[in-house]
Amino acid sequence: MTTADDTRSMMDDSRLAMQGTIEALDSGDGSEPVVVNLGPQHPSTHGVFRLKVTLDGEIVRDAEMRIGYLHRSMEKLAEERTYTQNIPFTDRIDYLAAMSNNLAYCLAAEELLGVEVPPRANAIRVMFAELQRVASHAMANGTFINDCGAWHTPLFHMFRDRERVLDMFEMTCGARLTTNYMRIGGVAFDLPDELLPTLEQFLADMPENIANYEALLMENEILHARARGVGVISPEMAINSSLSGPVLRATGVPWDLRKANPYSGYEDYEFDVPVGEQGDCFDRFLVRMAEVKQSLRILRQVIDNLPDGPWLADVPLHARPEPGESYARVESPRGELGFYLVSDGGPAPYRFHCRPPSLINLSALKEMSIGGTLADAIVTLGSIDIVVGEIDR
Amino acid sequence: MTTQYDATAAMEIVNASAPGAACVEDGVLYLEPALVAEAIESLRDSEESDLIFLCSLTAVDQERHFEVVYHLQSLDLNHILAIKARLTDREDPTLPSLTGVFHGAHLQEREVYDLFGITFEGHPDLRRMFLWEGFPGYPLRKDFLQMPGQIRAGLPGFPHESTENAWPVPGSVPQRPQHPNDPQPPSVLAVAEDGEESS
Amino acid sequence: MSGLSGFSSVLGAWYDFRDLNNLQRLITEWIAEWGPDWIASIVTGVLGALAILGVIGPTLLILIWVERKVIARFQQRYGPNRVGPKGLLQPVADAVKLILKEQLAPRSADKLLFFLPPVLIFVPGILIWGVLPFGPRMSVADLNVGVLFLLAVSGTAVLVLFMAGWSSNNKYALFGAMRAVAMSISYEVPMVLALLTLVVFSGTMSVNGIVEWQQQEDVIFILLFPLSAVAFFFAASAELNRTPADISEAESEIVAGYHTEYSGMRFGLFYAVELGNTLVVSGFIATFFLGGWWLWGLDQWVPSWIILLVKTGAVYFLLIWTRGTLPRLRVDQLMGFCWKALVPATLLFVVVAFVERTLLISEGWDTTVALPIMAVFNIALTLGAVMLFARVSRPAALRRPARIRMAGAEIGGLRAARQVASRTEEPQFQVGGD
């Protein structure tokens, strides 16, 4: 267990090491560190994210992130909208995993309102949350390989899978990215007839696609050289830094909210939680690749056991929950996505807080980057898989 | 399934190491603001509570006071505990920083500082995060950009419910951050200058 | 000379399209009848330059299309298919767009130095074509120190890149320029050593001489010195800033490297020269290691420049292929690979070439017997060197396989992590390692 002193000394060490180097540079041959602003407009920051790195040659001596370029004050805006009106906001928090965000918010609101969700709605929710995970991991892994310097080839191949998932979203709810599909008490629409055959075909095709990616990437020596031993973080430090999702699991900590705190009937499905060993960028990549396979496994079970019945509980559109609070979280593709809602009995949440995994996973970015090269910092950032909409909200 | 950790048990653990730091009201653990860091450190290091994972750190403006809410999770024992601390000083709310206990508190405390104006003493890098230094006010406070007629942010009621719940001044809507009618529009230049910063 | 030679004797030598140099020779002879020598030199020089420019321009436009199309196929896309038939006019549309775009220069840039590089970069890019033999007599300047000229000219490009990076007053550009300089200087060494192997072995520094040696001995150099060929290929792809060695314009790190600040046609010029260099380097790889315009007698039947073009295309496709497949190496890894692997290995093969040459010349070994033996020996030596390097140089982090374990019931924190890690059965998934 990490004690406070350990944490402090870890932080002090890195700070001292940094100061020592910069002083040595200053006193030496007259050279001085270079500060480079990576972003806010930069090909590898995945949005308007700015990483201010202090470089000694190619070595990163300090990394500081500057964010807020996409701040849309959602938490404030949500206080002026009803519980149902807030669902579209959650799409735009993490626009690469809108379904997961819908789900987390609806769970929090349902806890506040005391709503029971019908079984068919739960199964549909799991189906779309897992499809979203496949799509989001395809994006994450593709851009990660791009950050390692590939010329878009794996990205485009993985986008093909994501495209099919988005087609299924469009089929079901009319939107591809900002789905606004889940409702308090269930989902907005029942599944269309053509969805299940499409999904079956998707599940049939995916194993071959994944085998192709693995053939291309798994034993790629350059990818190994770039990602292994880079951006390493220990399990103790990862827990202490509140990291979650694939970043935490890559360090070997088997923490998955779908298992630890099953929601929407995840306890009924069989799946494993892949964990890494080294906690480096390559392990994060491998964990995501393995999670896609597990998601396909869950999807198979959802299709086979899809219950009939209503898909939306009878919840008034203008709901006024009792005063109180709720904190509900889901395992989004990026980690623990939580919504903390406080009600004062009014029609709108008194306080609407999103626990953004993208932001909190960046807690240890500085520790992961210092001492590596500029290229390593980019790879590390890519392996954390941030979505700037979620960081800034 | 994650269980709720018993607040009374947590209170005993906290009070054993920092006497008088914790009390339980309505099943919720409240901490003495000045002793928050020690109290949470004892909860983290105790074998029984084992709350080693800081899920979420946020604040709520309860009008009379601020409430800082911590959600702590034990991974191995799989229980969660919500902890609150009340800050009654609205002018200069301060709280000891949790950064020495949880490295993950860094960014979340900065966010709370940015949007609520709560100062975390001992935070190594307490600057505004989403907004720029010099932004007027703290947006998530309920009195941010208060209108004449004491209109506060939030939705008073559904329009169909009662006319009393409608906005008292016809045609006036609460000014939101970055509203064009804002008397002190946030300077776009401040962002631009910051963005071009170099050394 | 059989087959077509009868045909050409009827139509006159100058009309023999197998060797367009005949035309030039005819003009020279005609001028020599009435004018002084220097006019002939100037006229042939101008003609050669015009020929090169006339070939490069349209070729580049087609190449852009080819590269985009091929990369698109690797990526399961269609590629350009809107402008013109099969999208063939897309590069023209791009060029028009680039020409019409405003030429921006940063306010703090050094104006003169910022203006010059897109122009200057053309000089080595064009000069280098001069020594490429398209046929037995078909090169603009068949210098007897052609290899030296090639290396010297390609070395000057780095100055221009540094000029561009420095004058932009942009940190990305500066980083790109520094990386370009460091990499060019490093990779010049294995490049020189790889070519030195050929020079030592064939005993000539003329590019055409090396092709003729291959023709004479009936062997291509990639069979004799495979490691030099691979080293030259990799070093050339590094000099060309192509993946996996495109660190000086690494998009994901330093945006566009030294040409970050260039817009419009200034960028277009950099891009065009880069493509042209890729083509000419493919041509030189084909010339040095694949026999150039010669192909076991087929060059008697097919115009030699078509043979060269096909070989060049094959090498060029290989370059596109590596670009579409591989991620990028890091700066230190790239430098380390150059100095720790390529330089010693190519140096070893210079010595090998020296010894084998001595055996051929001084000891008078019969080439028809000795060359196959040497080829087998050298291939074995290459494989051995590569395997030795792979074993010795692998970083410790890569020695262990990366493992993914599956946690089913164990869910939790550090305690569960230890449980999962201490499980004795085989990990579910494992990649890499020795």
3-state secondary structure of B57: strand
3-state secondary structure of B12: helix
Contacts of C30 (CB under 8 A, 6+ apart): none
Contact B78 C414 (CB under 8 A): no
In chain B, the residue whose alpha carbon lies closest to the alpha carbon of C411 is B76
Looking at residue B35, the DSSP 8-state letter turns out to be G
On the question of a cis peptide bond just before residue A40, with omega within 30 degrees of 0, the verdict is: yes
pLDDT score, position B172: 45
Do C206 and C162 lie in a common domain?
Answer: yes
Do C349 and C371 lie in a common domain?
Answer: yes
- Comparing C-alpha atoms, which of A165, A183, A213 is closest to residue A110? A183
pLDDT score, position C426: 61
- The secondary structure element, H or E, covering residue B70 is strand B66-74
Looking at residue A363, the DSSP 8-state letter turns out to be G
**Cα distances (angstroms) measured from residue B56 to each of A75, A244, A327:** 15, 12, 9
d(CA C228, CA A321): 76
> C371-378: long-range contacts at Cβ-Cβ below 8 A with a sequence spacing of 24 or more?
C371/C217, C371/C219, C371/C224, C374/C224, C375/C219, C375/C223, C375/C224, C378/C224, C378/C225, C378/C226, C378/C227, C378/C349, C378/C352
Establish if C16 belongs to a structural domain: no
Contacts of C415 in chain B (CB under 8 A): 76
More confidently predicted of A7 and A336: A336
Contacts of C246 in chain A (CB under 8 A): 149
In chain B, the residue whose alpha carbon lies closest to the alpha carbon of C410 is B76
More confidently predicted of A37 and B169: A37
pLDDT score, position A373: 87
Q: Answer yes or no: is pLDDT of A378 > 60.
A: yes
Which chain A residues in 362-381 lie under 8 Å from chain C, judged by CB atoms?
373-376, 378
Establish if C87 belongs to a structural domain: no
Tokens at B23, concatenated: 């009390």
Which subunits have 3 or more CB–CB pairs within 8 Å of chain B?
A, C
Q: Is A239 on the interface with B (CB under 8 A)?
A: yes
Do C109 and C217 lie in a common domain?
Answer: yes
d(CA A272, CA C131): 63
With b for 16 or more beta-carbon neighbours within 10 A and e for fewer, the C390-420 pattern comes to eeeeeeebbeeebbbbbbeebbbbbebbeeb
Do C316 and C420 lie in a common domain?
Answer: no
Do C191 and C325 lie in a common domain?
Answer: yes
Per DSSP, the residues of A52-94 read EEEEETTEEEEEEEE--TT---HHHHGGGS-TTTTHHHHHHHS
3-state secondary structure of B123: coil
Instruction: Tell me the sheet residues that pair with B83.
Output: B29, B70
Torsion over CA: A320, A322, A325, A328 (sign): negative
Contact B106 A363 (CB under 8 A): yes
d(CA A221, CA B48): 46
More confidently predicted of A31 and C290: C290
Q: Is B55 on the interface with C (CB under 8 A)?
A: no
- A-C contacts (CB, under 8 Å): 171
Which subunits have 3 or more CB–CB pairs within 8 Å of chain A?
B, C
d(CA C14, CA A280): 66
pLDDT tens readout for residues A276-323: 888 889 999 999 999 999 999 999 999 998 898 888 888 877 788 888
First-to-last C-alpha distance (Å) of chain C: 55
Residue C11: burial class (beta carbons within 10 Å; 0-12, 13-18, 19+): exposed
Per DSSP, the residues of A302-354 read HHHT---S-SB----SS--PPSEEEEEEEEETTEEEEEEEEE-SSSS-SEEEE
Establish if C259 belongs to a structural domain: yes
Contact A3 B45 (CB under 8 A): yes
Q: Is A235 on the interface with C (CB under 8 A)?
A: yes
d(CA C331, CA B24): 58
Q: Is C409 on the interface with B (CB under 8 A)?
A: no
Do C336 and C416 lie in a common domain?
Answer: no
Q: Is C392 on the interface with B (CB under 8 A)?
A: no
Q: Is A35 on the interface with B (CB under 8 A)?
A: yes
Q: Where are the alpha helices (DSSP H) in B2-78?
A: 7-17, 36-45
Number of domains in chain C: 2
Contact A68 B132 (CB under 8 A): yes
More confidently predicted of C168 and A126: A126
Establish if C384 belongs to a structural domain: yes
d(CA C211, CA B70): 76
Contact C414 B75 (CB under 8 A): yes
* Smallest Cα distance from C315 to chain A, Å: 19
Q: Is C411 on the interface with B (CB under 8 A)?
A: yes
For C171, the closest of A36, A151, A280 (CB atoms) is A36
- Comparing C-alpha atoms, which of C283, C282, C307 is closest to residue C294? C307
A352 touches A79 (CB < 8 A): yes
Q: Is A389 on the interface with C (CB under 8 A)?
A: no
Torsion over CA: C321, C326, C328, C333 (sign): negative
* Smallest Cα distance from B56 to chain A, Å: 6
**Cα distances (angstroms) measured from residue C92 to each of A18, C56, C63, C99, C277:** 51, 14, 12, 10, 19
pLDDT tens readout for residues B66-89: 999 999 988 888 889 899 998 888
Do C115 and C229 lie in a common domain?
Answer: yes
Contact B198 A81 (CB under 8 A): no
The domain of C110 spans 101-393
Contact B76 C171 (CB under 8 A): no
d(CA C209, CA C196): 14
Q: Is A260 on the interface with B (CB under 8 A)?
A: yes
d(CA A207, CA A226): 26
- Comparing C-alpha atoms, which of C232, C138, C379, B61 is closest to residue A349? B61
Looking at residue A373, the DSSP 8-state letter turns out to be B
d(CA A223, CA A220): 5
pLDDT score, position C21: 65
Contact B53 C415 (CB under 8 A): no
What's the predicted TM-score (pTM) here? 0.83
Contact A7 B140 (CB under 8 A): no
Do C293 and C414 lie in a common domain?
Answer: no
Task: Specify the amino acid at residue A77.
Answer: L
CB atoms within 10 A of CB B70: 25
Do C300 and C416 lie in a common domain?
Answer: no
Contact C412 B52 (CB under 8 A): no
pLDDT score, position B174: 46
Q: Is A62 on the interface with B (CB under 8 A)?
A: no
Instruction: Tell me the sheet residues that pair with B90.
Output: none
Contacts of A269 in chain C (CB under 8 A): none
Do C237 and C328 lie in a common domain?
Answer: yes
Q: Is B49 on the interface with C (CB under 8 A)?
A: no
Contacts of C88 (CB under 8 A, 6+ apart): C62, C65
Tokens at A335, concatenated: 């980690």
Which chain A residues in 299-358 lie under 8 Å from chain C, judged by CB atoms?
none
Establish if C140 belongs to a structural domain: yes
Do C242 and C344 lie in a common domain?
Answer: yes
Establish if C15 belongs to a structural domain: no
* Smallest Cα distance from B75 to chain C, Å: 4
Residue C421: burial class (beta carbons within 10 Å; 0-12, 13-18, 19+): middle
Contacts of B76 in chain C (CB under 8 A): 412-416
d(CA A359, CA C113): 43
Establish if C42 belongs to a structural domain: no
Q: pLDDT tens digits, chain C, 434 residues: what are they? A: 344 444 444 445 545 555 666 676 777 777 777 777 787 778 777 877 888 888 888 888 888 888 889 989 888 888 888 888 888 888 889 889 988 988 888 888 788 888 888 888 888 888 888 888 887 777 777 778 888 888 888 888 888 888 888 888 888 888 888 888 888 888 889 999 998 888 888 888 888 888 888 888 778 888 888 888 888 988 888 888 877 778 777 777 777 788 888 888 888 888 888 888 888 889 899 988 888 777 776 766 777 778 888 888 899 999 888 888 888 888 888 888 888 888 988 898 888 888 888 887 777 777 777 777 778 888 888 888 888 887 777 777 777 788 888 887 778 778 777 877 777 666 566 776 66
Do C344 and C410 lie in a common domain?
Answer: no
Establish if C331 belongs to a structural domain: yes
d(CA A277, CA C421): 8
d(CA B117, CA B91): 9
